[in-house]
Structure 1
């Protein structure tokens, strides 16, 4: 450890939501990797440690220093119900047979089990978990935190998650998983369900770890929104907008958030923000909507970040396009949820390791 803090390395770091949560829990982030250049720009505005801006498949595992905890929120598109859900599947280019490959096949090259032909990943983003395993096996951290969409567990009738569990077990880790909703575990009014996998090298540490308990949602959308002053005109819909008539007919309440769904406007019945998605960065109508004293408007990028639990002192790079910030917020994790998980992970590690980082069995301590 450095400065008596557990050290953390972050794969698929995004704009640092996981890293910020671990920092708030008392850990020290020492290294990170992210491929998206705009996310890297935002990350560097807020963190000073090493950031490798590169496709993880081109980053050698030994470029990462030895750390106590490894984190990874690898791309979810291949598992999300919003995508095609190709997952980790490979397909033979000759006979079209679909199959899942082992870690060794991923590293050394896979062939079709039916005809011996050449195979390729149906969605390369779905196979990036193999690279997470590559780093875990090379660096053998004391613990890890992995994050993805809720649908990961049920994807391909549970077969994808079974493969993930097998690879983690073969890597020598003990782990548990749970789906947590931001509005239930982070006291942030956003309906966002994500699966978290927490693992430890030492089984005793896993026995000591508990996922955080559900907490009451005391914050409302008014704790997030800037309704006391008019925002830039680019966020408002005017009467010459193609959607204005539809918005005027549907948007009546100020205590909730709305979304445009092609031919209708959807009202969130639970009075919270719907799940923020990266699609917010692909077009203005994908950004959730609210009513303020000046009309119907989109969330601002700052409000989107607040709905993920980022504090107001988190810096948005000057000149960064709003579309990039929206995408980054949609791809991010909810910081308060991460902080609570990280706090419990550190407590579990402390139950097994003393401050000098040497394993201290309870019977020896006694």
Structure 2
């Protein structure tokens, strides 16, 4: 949307609230959050209109939640920044980012300050072309290396197309070895690698054996893998493997990892209430009551197709079926293919109306990107937004892992400082 001084003030305020919460917007303007409510009710004078336009046109990221940091980390295959967000909440400072997808880069830039370091698009600039001066020293390496080569869905699709998968998939699977190259060269104190649960069983366990051999036997790190379900953190059944590694023995274990009870979250926590109790966020919600836009309701043609397809597979004894949820449900795993038909998570709207897809804002909440303190900035269209959230991590899970790792990271930092002081 082309915004300028002639644009109605209510439109400018609505656009600003798509990117910022009232609290964040007020902080940018140096005012009390109540002034934003006044803007919505009474309009905006010329001075504040110009200030809001400047914020929107300069693509200002969300306010930095504190400058102090306890350790540094690099963010590889960063996506839209879910892992970074979790490690920042645990006191980390990001000093390097790599993400090749330009659409994901756009979302990343809208949510994080990248003034201190650029986003490197292709990690091969470092690992193949040898531009090691671009990669700073760091305490922790974090990477959610591409999971499609190892996922159940990815393997099934590639098998049906006669394509290679896992490490044989040159385009994605071998990116693990780029991570290994960086670990070998920079020797971080710790790392966290994230992937799909199927990584453990892929190729009859051979894939994980290779990964374990590289990390432990070749690179000398001690690894601590754990499969974690996001249920309890968010209302979504999403199992992922998290591989924590430490360069030296620090007595790390998963005992302090706090897994919330699985019955504490339900879809009501992330769905638009449809009753006017939340702010309108076009195009996701419309009208005075902020009801979900009808464009997210399935057409009769698509809904009939999904029902017939599910019935056919059920009759054949197969497991395919759409996932219908209500406010009391736990959702299936949100995938990168959600943009196609939304079949894995469809919101029941009653028998008089077809179900609907989640809105991108609901996807942000389902992945834990939104919090009481800030609203994640969604600056791309629905299709790339669905892909980005489906490919991402659940932020509260990463936050808890980072907090679990932190004492051991600090222990290694202090040990290193003592070694240096003794050498001097």
**In 1: Cα distance, 2:175 partner to 2:157 partner:** 13
Higher mean C-alpha displacement, 219-228 vs 44-53 = 44-53
More helix by share: 2
> Per the alignment, do residues 4 and 279 of structure 1 end up closer, same or farther by CA in structure 2, a change over 3 Å counting?
closer
Deviation at 1:352, TM superposition (A): 4.0
Q: 1:274 aligns with which of 332, 355, 361?
A: 332
> Per the alignment, do residues 81 and 242 of structure 1 end up closer, same or farther by CA in structure 2, a change over 3 Å counting?
closer
Aligned to 2:222: 174
Task: Kindly tell me the number of residue pairs found equivalent between the two proteins.
Answer: 313
> Per the alignment, do residues 301 and 163 of structure 1 end up closer, same or farther by CA in structure 2, a change over 3 Å counting?
same
Q: Does 2:119 match 1:71?
A: no
Whether the 8 Å contact between 2:267 and 2:330 is mirrored in structure 1 is yes
Q: Using structure 2 for the length normalisation, give the TM-score.
A: 0.67
Deviation at 1:244, TM superposition (A): 5.2
Aligned to 1:337: 397
Aligned to 2:294: 233
**In 1: Cα distance, 2:207 partner to 2:91 partner:** 33
> Per the alignment, do residues 144 and 263 of structure 1 end up closer, same or farther by CA in structure 2, a change over 3 Å counting?
closer
Deviation at 1:263, TM superposition (A): 8.4
Aligned to 1:56: 123
Aligned to 1:107: none
More strand by share: 1
Deviation at 1:305, TM superposition (A): 1.2
Structure label with greater radius of gyration: 2
Whether the 8 Å contact between 1:42 and 1:315 is mirrored in structure 2 is no
Q: Using structure 1 for the length normalisation, give the TM-score.
A: 0.76
Whether the 8 Å contact between 1:277 and 1:331 is mirrored in structure 2 is yes
Q: What does residue range 1-12 of structure 1 map to in structure 2 within 5 Å?
A: 3=68, 5-12=70-77
Deviation at 1:125, TM superposition (A): 0.8
> Per the alignment, do residues 46 and 37 of structure 1 end up closer, same or farther by CA in structure 2, a change over 3 Å counting?
same
Consecutive unaligned residues in structure 2, runs of 5 or more = 1-66, 159-163, 275-289, 311-317
Whether the 8 Å contact between 2:72 and 2:93 is mirrored in structure 1 is yes
Deviation at 1:291, TM superposition (A): 2.4
**In 1: Cα distance, 2:195 partner to 2:302 partner:** 35
CA RMSD of aligned residues (A): 3.2
Q: 1:347 aligns with which of 398, 407, 423?
A: 407
**In 2: Cα distance, 1:227 partner to 1:244 partner:** 27
Secondary structure at the aligned position of 1:278 is classed as coil
Aligned to 2:348: 291
Aligned to 1:220: 266
Secondary structure at the aligned position of 1:29 is classed as strand
Q: Does 2:365 match 1:306?
A: yes
Q: Does 2:406 match 1:358?
A: no
Deviation at 1:350, TM superposition (A): 2.5
> Per the alignment, do residues 231 and 157 of structure 1 end up closer, same or farther by CA in structure 2, a change over 3 Å counting?
same
**In 2: Cα distance, 1:209 partner to 1:122 partner:** 32
**In 2: Cα distance, 1:160 partner to 1:202 partner:** 24
Whether the 8 Å contact between 1:174 and 1:200 is mirrored in structure 2 is yes
Deviation at 1:86, TM superposition (A): 11
Whether the 8 Å contact between 1:86 and 1:123 is mirrored in structure 2 is no
Aligned to 2:101: 36
> Per the alignment, do residues 266 and 344 of structure 1 end up closer, same or farther by CA in structure 2, a change over 3 Å counting?
closer
Whether the 8 Å contact between 1:268 and 1:274 is mirrored in structure 2 is no
Aligned to 2:111: 46
**In 2: Cα distance, 1:263 partner to 1:174 partner:** 39
Q: Does 2:376 match 1:315?
A: yes
User: Can you list the C-alpha shifts for 1:83-126, whole angstroms capped at 9, x where unaligned?
Assistant: 23799xxxxxxxxxx9x99xxxxxxxxxxxxxxxxxxx444311
Aligned to 1:190: 236
Whether the 8 Å contact between 1:144 and 1:199 is mirrored in structure 2 is yes
Aligned to 1:143: 190
User: Can you list the C-alpha shifts for 1:299-329, whole angstroms capped at 9, x where unaligned?
Assistant: 00010111111115343344x2100000000
Whether the 8 Å contact between 1:237 and 1:297 is mirrored in structure 2 is yes
> Per the alignment, do residues 264 and 11 of structure 1 end up closer, same or farther by CA in structure 2, a change over 3 Å counting?
closer
**In 1: Cα distance, 2:321 partner to 2:206 partner:** 36
Aligned to 1:25: 90
